[in-house]
Amino acid sequence: MDTFDTIDAVLASGSGADSRAYDEPSPGDGELLDHYSRTVSSVVLRAAPSVAAVHVKRPPPRRGAAREAWGSGSGFLFTPDGYLLTNSHVVHEARGIRVEFPGGREFEGAVMGDDPDSDIAVIRIGSQDLPYLALGESASLIPGQIAIAMGNPLGFQFTVTTGVVSALGRTLPARSGRMMHGVLQTDAALNPGNSGGPLLDSRGRVIGVNTAVIPGAQGLCFAVGIDVAKWVIGELFVHGRVRRAYLGVAGATEMLPRALVRAHGLSQRTAVRVTGVGAASPAERAGLKAGDRIVGLDGTVVKTIDDLQRLLDSSRLGKACPLRVLRGAEQLYLIATPHELTTGSRSPG
C-alpha cells in the first residue's frame, strides 16, 4: 500500500432519571466510577505509543543572538508510515524537528505540509509500521461527551487530562489573521505544550487537535475539529497546500437598518460592510465598492465576515459567483470570480 492509499484509508461511530430518594445509596456508584476510570485508562494505554513530544529548533529570538531557540509541542501519528498531525504554530519557522515517543524513541522530522489558516501541519518521520490513531468525526459529536487530551504541557511529557466536549462550532482567530471554523470547546485542561496533541473520544478516536487556551480563563480550551483537519490533510497531500478562494475585500459585520431588511425581504439582521477593496482584485473587477453591504454569495446568505470567509473555499475557485449587495437603499447583483488566495493577498475575504 503506497502513501496515498494509506491517506485515503485514514480519511475514509436512552437515558432515564433515577427517582430514588437522595439519601438512598446507589449500589452501582463505585462500579460506575470504576467503569469511567477503566474507559479512560484503556484509551490512554492504546493511544500513548502514537502521541509524541515535538521539539522544534527555531531561528535566534533576536538579531545578534548567538544560539537558536528551541520550542516544544505535541503531535500524533495518524498513518503507520510516519505521518503526524500537529499545529502549524508548533512548527512555524522550524529549522529542525525532533520527535520523541514514550520509551525514548526519537526521530528526525520534517514539515510535509503547513496551513496557518487552520493551525494544522503535517510532519513526516522516516519509519514504517508505527502505531497510529484512528481519526473520528467531529460532526457527530454532542456536548457532554467524554474528551481525553494527551500531550506535553509545560514540558511535562505524556500527560493526560479529561473532561467533556463543552461546545461545538466555535470560531477562533488563527495567527494568520483569518478565522478558524469548526473549533471544539472542551474543559479538558490544556496548557502550552499541549498544542498539536490529540483530543480523543471514549473509543480512542481522534475528535480534535488541541490548539488553544484563553489566558486567565478556567475550563476554556479549544481544539480544531478533526473534520477540518481531515480536509486540510487531503488538500496538503493532493496539492501541497490548502487552496482557498480570494475575493479581495476588507470588511466587518454590521447590523442592517430595519427598513432595509423589510424593503428587500431579507432573512437576516446583519451583513458584511465592505471597508476596502483590493486593487485589481476579483471584488474590484466585479464592481464592488467601499460602503457596500454583502448579504449573499453564490445563493447563500452572508450574515457575518466569518460566513464570507467560510464560503470562500476551493469549490469557488474560478467560479462566477453572484454577490447580493446593498448599495445605499438599492439592491444589486454583481458577478465575482474568486481566484486562489496567496500569501500576498491576506484580507478577510
195 is catalytic: yes
Coil, helix or strand at residue 210: strand
Catalytic residue among 74, 89, 118, 347: 89
Per-residue burial over 75-113, b = 16 or more CB atoms within 10 Å of its CB, e = otherwise: bbbbbbbbbbbbbbbbbbebeebbbbbeeeeebebebbb
Is the torsion defined by CA of 292, 297, 301, 306 positive or negative? Answer: negative
DSSP run (H or E) holding 146: strand 146-151
Q: Which three cell numbers, joined as nine digits, stand for 323?
A: 454577490
Alpha-carbon distance of 55 to 342, in angstroms, equals 29
- Is the separation of the CB atoms in 162 and 250 below 8 Å? no
Alpha-carbon distance of 266 to 67, in angstroms, equals 59
Q: Could you count the other beta carbons within 10 Å of the beta carbon of residue 167?
A: 14
Q: Which three cell numbers, joined as nine digits, stand for 247?
A: 475575493
89 is catalytic: yes
Alpha-carbon distance of 24 to 43, in angstroms, equals 33
Catalytic residue among 138, 195, 281, 347: 195
Under the phi-then-psi rule, with left for phi > 0, alpha for psi from -120 to 50, and beta for the rest, what region is 245? beta
Q: Which three cell numbers, joined as nine digits, stand for 244?
A: 482557498
Catalytic residue among 81, 114, 119, 292: 119
What's the number of CA atoms in the CB half-sphere (13 Å) around residue 135? 26
Alpha-carbon distance of 126 to 209, in angstroms, equals 22
Residue type, 189: A
For 74-127, give the secondary structure using H, E and C: EEEECCCCCEEEECHHHHCCCCEEEEECCCCCEEEEEEEEEECCCCEEEEEECC
The residues carrying an active-site annotation are 89, 119, 195
